[in-house]
Amino acid sequence: MSTLTSNRIKPFRKTITVPGDKSISHRAIMFGSIAEGITTIEGFLPGADCLSTIACFEKLGVQVERTSATSVRVVGKSINGLRQPASILDVGNSGTTIRLMMGILAGASFSSTLVGDSSIGKRPMDRVVNPLRQMGAVIDGKEDGRYTPLTIEGSFLQGITYQSPVSSAQVKSAILLAGLSASGTTTVLEPAVSRDHTERMLSAFGVQVNRQFNEASIKGEQQLSATHVTVPGDISSAAFFLAAALMVPSSMITIEKVGLNPTRTGIIDVFRAMGAEVTVDEQQESSGEPIGSITITSDGLKRIEIGGELIPRLIDEIPIIAVVATQAKGKTIIRDAAELKVKETNRISTTANELRKLGAQIEETEDGLIIEGPTPLQGGICDSHGDHRIGMAMAIAGLATEEAVVVNGADAIQVSFPGFYELLKQL
Ligand SMILES: O=C(O)C1=C[C@@H](OP(=O)(O)O)[C@@H](O)[C@H](O)C1
Ligand SMILES: C=C(OP(=O)(O)O)C(=O)O
């Protein structure tokens, strides 16, 4: 188990880039694999999760060539050209990999088995299994398909209209991808719009996706055509460095070439509402995704209340928002975020428990957190609990402490942000 150490640094002014977006990198490999023709990807995230996606599609007979650390060439097979894997498909730590693949494999012409690590083994899969079964999918798994391992017997699917009880891009994407092999039209409605990378990228691959408000539909039996994908920097990774500039007063940071998809930019709205000065400059678009730079600085932060439709737009940023809230004046309240309980860890508990070790005043609620600030943080020994975002959040908390913060289990950070510690040291 690797360890990382951070502590107080001097105010800084920096311009950086962060590795490629994880959600978009997964989808570029998957859609490239089920397209016709050769897809080229630049800015790909070589994080453990996306490497799991590559390994799974290689087992399905797809040729995936890493032409550089961040460039990939995928020789598309189309959905019908995928072949039965010779062994179990291992998704590692990646919820996105397993849930989206279930949608693709449900309509295949063979059977396959999916497993992951111990964290994946605790995450609910019935949220995808149930709607897929309504489409005619044949899926078997532990506790009637609630948990891995899952075995999927490829079968004929029919389109459905599904009202999802949760705002989850993984659920929505799995159903839409199954809809590609289904007869008729498949429609997903969700309580509030979740990240829409699937809808945007399917369009870039030539698939017609109809969207209005919280609804997305797709007609079955459409073929994807290969394309070139430029992956923007991951705003969820950028969030840790935006937060770093807020944890070290009088600092300023610019993050260049980062994704600015409005379904992901809740973090910008939150930091602005807390009193930070944030400048966003949208410069280009690739595969339907806006890309640009974000600059942030502040001279004092205030409390905020976060809930409702904002939550899906910043779901992965809540641990780092909690860290920043310890330095904001007043009581920050985060609600409607029960989804955090079914991530790599129960992030409501892990965020609260780890921050408490540093002296934070933070309380867990049924669906969120309450944080009192400003509270001076002190050094201590924290643990990622195998959760990349918890590991990085605690490392950033350390930037405000006199004594060192030691983060055990820092190797988990490889899941989404290879090079995180090296970049942190540059500050
Ligand atoms: O579709 C995706 O790429 C993701 C969707 C989100 O999960 P949910 O769909 O479970 O909300 C997010 O937390 C995860 O990091 C990536
Ligand atoms: C929840 C996450 O990812 P996944 O669901 O793909 O494991 C995350 O990256 O924070």
What pLDDT digit, counting tens, does each position of 206-234 carry?
999 999 999 999 999 899 999 999 999 99
pLDDT of residue 20: 98
**How much distance in Å is there from the Cα of 420 to the middle of ligand 1?**
21
pLDDT of residue 1: 63
| Ligand 1 atom with least separation from CA of 173 | 1
**How much distance in Å is there from the Cα of 212 to the middle of ligand 1?**
21
The answer to whether residues 328 and 302 touch, using CB atoms and an 8 Å cutoff, is yes
Phi first, then psi, for residue 7 (nearest 5°) are -155, -175
CB 169 less than 6 A from any atom of ligand 1: yes
**How much distance in Å is there from the Cα of 237 to the middle of ligand 1?**
14
Distance separating alpha carbons of residues 110 and 408, to the nearest angstrom: 42
Residue 343 annotated in ligand binding: yes
CB 344 less than 6 A from any atom of ligand 2: yes
Report the nearest-CA residue for atom 4 of ligand 2.
95
| Ligand 2 atom with least separation from CA of 26 | 6
Query: 54 has which bridge partners?
Result: none
Nearest to 173 by CA among 155, 154, 195: 195
Mutate which of 31, 168, 172, 342 for ligand 1? The one with the most ligand atoms within 8 Å of its CB, which is 168
| All domains of the chain in start order, with CATH | 3-18+232-426 (3.65.10.10), 22-230 (3.65.10.10)
Residue 94 annotated in ligand binding: no
Is-above-0.95 flag for pTM? yes
CB 96 less than 6 A from any atom of ligand 1: yes
Report the nearest-CA residue for atom 10 of ligand 1.
168
CB 343 less than 6 A from any atom of ligand 2: yes
pLDDT of residue 218: 98
CB 383 less than 6 A from any atom of ligand 1: no
CB 234 less than 6 A from any atom of ligand 2: no
Distance separating alpha carbons of residues 355 and 380, to the nearest angstrom: 10
Distance separating alpha carbons of residues 42 and 25, to the nearest angstrom: 9
- Residues of the chain under the 50 pLDDT cut: none
Residue 368 annotated in ligand binding: no
Which helix (H) or strand (E) element contains residue 282? strand 277-286
Distance separating alpha carbons of residues 111 and 377, to the nearest angstrom: 52
CB 236 less than 6 A from any atom of ligand 1: no
- N- to C-terminal Cα separation, the chain: 25
Task: Give CB contacts under 8 A, 24+ apart, made by 119-122.
Answer: 119/93, 119/344, 119/345, 119/386, 119/387, 120/91, 120/92, 120/93, 120/94, 120/95, 120/148, 121/147, 121/148, 122/147
Residue 170 annotated in ligand binding: yes
Q: Torsion over CA of 205, 210, 212 and 216, rounded to 10 degrees?
A: -80
pLDDT of residue 34: 98
Nearest to 350 by CA among 412, 301, 269: 412
**How much distance in Å is there from the Cα of 374 to the middle of ligand 1?**
31
What tokens appear for 256 in the block? Answer: 């260049």
What tokens appear for 194 in the block? Answer: 């979740």
pLDDT of residue 396: 98
Query: How is residue 344 annotated by DSSP?
Result: S
| Ligand 1 atom with least separation from CA of 170 | 9
pLDDT of residue 291: 98
What tokens appear for 383 in the block? Answer: 């643990």
Nearest to 412 by CA among 117, 122, 1: 1
Mutate which of 24, 49, 194, 289 for ligand 1? The one with the most ligand atoms within 8 Å of its CB, which is 194
- Closest ligand to C-alpha of residue 25 is 1
Q: Within 13 Å and on the Cβ side, how many CA atoms surround 416? A: 28
- Is the dihedral angle over the CA atoms 347, 349, 354, 360 positive or is it negative? positive
Query: 183 has which bridge partners?
Result: 158
pLDDT of residue 273: 98
Tens of pLDDT, residues 25-81: 999 999 999 999 999 999 999 999 999 999 999 999 999 999 999 999 999 999 999
| Ligand 2 atom with least separation from CA of 93 | 7
Residue located via tokens 């070290």:
248
Distance separating alpha carbons of residues 259 and 293, to the nearest angstrom: 8
- Catalytic residue, candidates 90, 196, 234, 316: 316
Kindly provide the ipTM of the predicted complex, given to two decimals. Answer: 0.99
CB 339 less than 6 A from any atom of ligand 1: yes
Active site residue 316: yes
- Which amino acid is present at 100? L
Residue 23 annotated in ligand binding: yes
| Ligand 2 atom with least separation from CA of 389 | 10
**How much distance in Å is there from the Cα of 13 to the middle of ligand 1?**
32
Residue 389 annotated in ligand binding: yes
